[in-house]
Structure 1
Amino acid sequence: MTTDSTSRDDQTRVPFLESLIDEKLNQPTSFHMPGHKGTKAPHPLLQEFFGGNLHPADLVEINHNVDYLHSPKGALLKAQQLGAAAYGADHTFYLINGSTVGNMAAIMSTVGPQQKIIMSRASHRSVYGAVVLSGAIPVYIEPEYHPDIEFPLALNVNKIKELLQQHSDVAAIHITSPNYYGVMSDTASICHLAHAHGVAVLVDEAHGSHLCFHDDLPRSAVALKADIIVQSTHKTQGSLTQSAMLHVNDNGFVNRARTAQVLSLLQSSSPSSILLASLDATRMQMATEGQQRLSTVIVLSQNARNTIQRMDGLWCYGDELIGVNHVFTYDPTKLIIRVSDLGLSGFKVSSLLRNQYNIEVEFADLKHIICSITVADTELTVNKLLDALHNLASTNSPTANSNEMSIRPPNGLPQSAINLRDAYFATKTHTIPLCDAIGCVLAENVIPYPPGIPLLVPGEIMEQRHLDYIHHLIEKGSSIVGLEDLSLKTIRIVDV
């Protein structure tokens, strides 16, 4: 694939969006999909929700000037080249199915059936989905829980080194950095170690798409030369939900054509031009204005962190994270706010903020709420959060019972009896009461949310300690996802 050097230079351009505008202004009479043909207005309620009529902008690749996602040759190819230049990658793929499809494509294009992949147990469910679809054999990095936050915030590089020595046939390493808490592993050292062993590094950087646009933020895995980096452009930059990017660095460990092939397999054959245009425009804005906008974000975030740290019964983590449990650095735009010292769970505070102050947080666990500050925030929005937190701190006295807010699961990895893929697709299964599943091989996931780390995956054996932990979480107000029975009374097991 050749690269037009001029197309990578002018970051003020939005070639794909420009092509869509041209097509919209000159649409012929349509006898093809979509059914609304750009002329039938949406239902009035839908139009009210949209804030206008989006149908004329809902163009498809049948339109003459609309470049096709799965075989880009014109405006979309140029947009992706601009994306690669803006983010510092050798090549960029635009995604319409979020980082979920990016993680799947990263793994499925580098790891084949029965090949091993080193991955954190604390991986997004899309990573587990990719293992199922690819037939890969996961080699888990056992979680090491931070003593205060009680989440495996970062990966132990020495543990990865041990696993590489124990498994000489590893095809790839998959890491998540930053995670939901905004905390990052030593990605540079992991890349150096992996590449020395001839192993590709795949990074779920869904929460770090903004990092490369400001020098005072931690370095993106793109700059650190990971092989495939997946970013949710919609999470921290402002493109439309479901739009994301997959970046490739040509280090010699990834077949870019294979990645494109897998993406064509996984993504819709009818890609949304609206989502793709959103990526094009967001890239342009960040490339031309990101430094200035993120400077404001960093100041807002640091001022908020300092203010929260002065509130009785609240704490917002910062530099003290670095160096503890392998934490290399953290994204300052994520506010990890401990609320459990007030005697309240993160779930409770999240509910209070929503119902009493009309504030929605990014995430909550038993001890914390997580708030994300982005380019959309202003002093007004941040001060609204700070005022609400101050009111909660003033009306809830600090307590000594915060240790009751614990989310740490049983130590050690579960025992695996059957390969994950084989258990997932097992046809001989049946459903039993959850309380009777001790000693059984599961056919479905058991994922406490939060923290979102699988307690058990298909093919693993449930033990009494797992059942006790499930009951503990439910009692504390957490939820369990992955089970077909949403009431959590039964579970499906494999007949062995």
Structure 2
Amino acid sequence: MELEPDIISPTVVSATFTPDQTRMPFLESLMVEKAHRPISFHMPGHKGTKAPHSLLLEYFGGDLHPADLVEINKNIDYLHSPRGALLEAQKLAAAAYNADHTFFLINGSTVGNMAAIMGVTASNQKIIMSRASHRSVYGGIVLSGAIPVYIEPDYHPDIGFPLSVSVEAIEVLLKQHPDVVAIHLTSPNYYGVMPDIAAICHLAHSHGVALLVDEAHGSHLGFHSDLPQSAVSLRADIIVHSTHKTQGSLTQSAMLHVNDNGFVNLARIAQVLPLLQSSSPSSILLASLDATRMQMATEGRERLSIVIALARKARDAIRQMNGLWCYGDELVGVNNIFAFDPSKLIIRVSDAGFSGFEASSLLRHQYGIEVEFADVKHVICSITIADTESTVDKLLDALHSLTRQKRPIIDHDGFSIKPPDGLPLPAINLRDAYLSTKTRTIPLNEAVGHILVENVIPYPPGVPLLVAGEIMEQRHLDYMRYLIDKGSTIIGMEDLSLQMIRILDA
């Protein structure tokens, strides 16, 4: 049976702890257990000895079952009550990322955002947050019962997306809502753009509130001085990292960092995480976090120097291609953008006659290139430590080939429709709407004027157009039709055909 935690042991870097970043204590402990594994009469059912199905074996590229170790009789340190090798691994991660405390996550940054919000807010307490937040942030609001106070989107005139938030807008909201207990921001976002986190952090702390930062796309920032500073080093209170997104850990593995600024109860975070994460944590995911931390701590600067050079090469080359543009440092200083991660390639393809969705599909099916995501006007590509001159050259060759395709006369207006101005009209709070049982389903075309009880989220990048508790207006319906026509996906709706939608049954 699984071991349940009897003492919550948050990761603490003590004064006597001397980090040796060349070690991987948790992975090393797994290697010892794997080598001396006794005959098993416990889970998992494959017991590490039954080989996977041949097709699964082929997919894995080897037999992973012997590595699928679980915590039994304290033979492996337990995620929800770490005392040994895993505790040391988390201490090493805290030191490597310049945090005071670090928790390993096996349910991605999604669970990190939820835990951050649940850890600092209670039901009916207010939290300032960007409207352009990932859906996991909204999930945290539903679970906590907090009341969101939205920062109104500021759409970039060229990119057509709310890339950043202003310090002044947050200051206004803090004055309007003196009972706010926290601020949640996304930095960097899908596009690699960041607000002035240092100034916002100072502002938050001067008002006695915590700053939570979804830095899922920026886990690499702290390992090279030519990259913008990480929110960890800037002393935000809780920072969530998708270690798998821009580093080398396995998908679904992530980290949550906490800084001791006096605004976060560490024990509460440690209590919330077991509510949200599996009680049967994957050793494989945890080991990948341990190994990735070691590699970044010891080789990160060298590897990221290559990333920066490759991205610079790609950006310069794309800017020379007919009909394409790749944004860069010119973004900084416009629309409250304070910094930009150069490893993100925001490639505008609309001037070449493509929507981002069309270009993404062509790159995949004709050239074997998979982009990070696409919007109406752009494709976004991430350059990471896995890239080489060869992979970047293949991307550039494919983009160059696209520009040689003959396209019809460009309808610029068709690429310039931005989301509706202003915030949607709220009717009831998000949690009450989301959990309401008094609902009915109607055709989407008849939803104008009704209160939704499900979310409408264009994806990617996963920023809600409407959330539960808000009123559908004609402008929202028109924008949904426009996105669907351009090839975007809408998630959050129960009806995957996007013909029906659930509303509050008054």
Scaled to the shorter chain, the TM-score interval is over 0.9
Would you say the 8 A contact 1:19–1:65 is kept in 2?
A: no
Alignment-derived partner of residue 241 in structure 2: 231
From 189, 193, 196, the equivalent of 1:183 is 193
Alignment-derived partner of residue 176 in structure 2: 166
Code of the aligned partner of 1:466: H
Of 447-456 and 409-418, more deviation after overlay is shown by 447-456
Alignment-derived partner of residue 433 in structure 1: 443
Output the CA distance in 2 between the equivalents of 1:60 and 1:305. Answer: 45
Would you say the 8 A contact 2:328–2:342 is kept in 1?
A: yes
Output the CA distance in 2 between the equivalents of 1:401 and 1:446. Answer: 27
Code of the aligned partner of 2:415: M
| Structure 2 residue 140 is the aligned partner of structure 1 residue 130 | yes
From 350, 353, 363, the equivalent of 1:340 is 350
| Structure 2 residue 23 is the aligned partner of structure 1 residue 13 | yes
| Structure 2 residue 210 is the aligned partner of structure 1 residue 196 | no
Q: Give 5+ residue unaligned stretches, structure 2.
A: 1-9
Alignment-derived partner of residue 268 in structure 2: 258
Output the CA distance in 2 between the equivalents of 1:256 and 1:384. Answer: 46
Would you say the 8 A contact 2:190–2:461 is kept in 1?
A: no
| Structure 2 residue 380 is the aligned partner of structure 1 residue 370 | yes
Q: Give 5+ residue unaligned stretches, structure 1.
A: none
Of 420-429 and 466-475, more deviation after overlay is shown by 466-475
Output the CA distance in 2 between the equivalents of 1:449 and 1:209. Answer: 22
After superposition, residues 272-287 of structure 1 pair within 5 angstroms as 272-287=282-297
- Residues 19 and 407 from structure 1, CA distance in 2 versus in 1: closer, same or farther, beyond 3 angstroms? farther
From 114, 122, 131, the equivalent of 1:121 is 131
From 216, 220, 228, the equivalent of 1:210 is 220
| Structure 2 residue 85 is the aligned partner of structure 1 residue 75 | yes
Code of the aligned partner of 2:276: L
Alignment-derived partner of residue 452 in structure 2: 442
With normalisation by structure 1, the TM-score equals 0.98
Would you say the 8 A contact 2:243–2:289 is kept in 1?
A: yes
Deviations 1:112-143 (CA, angstroms, capped at 9, x unpaired): 10000000110000000000000000000010
- How far 1:64 sits from its partner (Å)? 4.1
Alignment-derived partner of residue 404 in structure 1: 414
Helix, strand or coil at the partner of 1:271: coil
Code of the aligned partner of 2:365: N
From 72, 93, 99, the equivalent of 1:89 is 99
Alignment-derived partner of residue 475 in structure 2: 465
- How far 1:403 sits from its partner (Å)? 3.5
Code of the aligned partner of 1:447: I
Helix, strand or coil at the partner of 2:204: helix
- How far 1:473 sits from its partner (Å)? 1.5
Code of the aligned partner of 2:471: I
- Residues 407 and 83 from structure 1, CA distance in 2 versus in 1: closer, same or farther, beyond 3 angstroms? farther
Deviations 1:295-314 (CA, angstroms, capped at 9, x unpaired): 01100001110111111100
- How far 1:396 sits from its partner (Å)? 3.9
After superposition, residues 297-376 of structure 1 pair within 5 angstroms as 297-376=307-386
Alignment-derived partner of residue 388 in structure 1: 398
Would you say the 8 A contact 1:8–1:81 is kept in 2?
A: no
Alignment-derived partner of residue 68 in structure 2: 58
Output the CA distance in 2 between the equivalents of 1:401 and 1:440. Answer: 34
Code of the aligned partner of 1:308: I
Deviations 1:46-92 (CA, angstroms, capped at 9, x unpaired): 11111111111111111543100000000000000000000000000
Helix, strand or coil at the partner of 1:395: coil
- How far 1:394 sits from its partner (Å)? 2.3
Deviations 1:318-358 (CA, angstroms, capped at 9, x unpaired): 11101110000100000000000011001111111101110
Would you say the 8 A contact 1:217–1:332 is kept in 2?
A: yes
What is the percentage of aligned positions where both structures have the same residue? Answer: 74
- How far 1:451 sits from its partner (Å)? 4.4
Helix, strand or coil at the partner of 1:262: helix
- How far 1:458 sits from its partner (Å)? 0.8
- How far 1:464 sits from its partner (Å)? 1.3
Tell me how many residue pairs correspond in the alignment. Answer: 496
- Residues 391 and 459 from structure 1, CA distance in 2 versus in 1: closer, same or farther, beyond 3 angstroms? same
Code of the aligned partner of 1:493: I
Would you say the 8 A contact 2:374–2:380 is kept in 1?
A: yes
Output the CA distance in 2 between the equivalents of 1:367 and 1:58. Answer: 43
Helix, strand or coil at the partner of 2:379: strand
With normalisation by structure 2, the TM-score equals 0.96
- How far 1:457 sits from its partner (Å)? 0.8
Output the CA distance in 1 between the equivalents of 2:385 and 2:177. Answer: 43
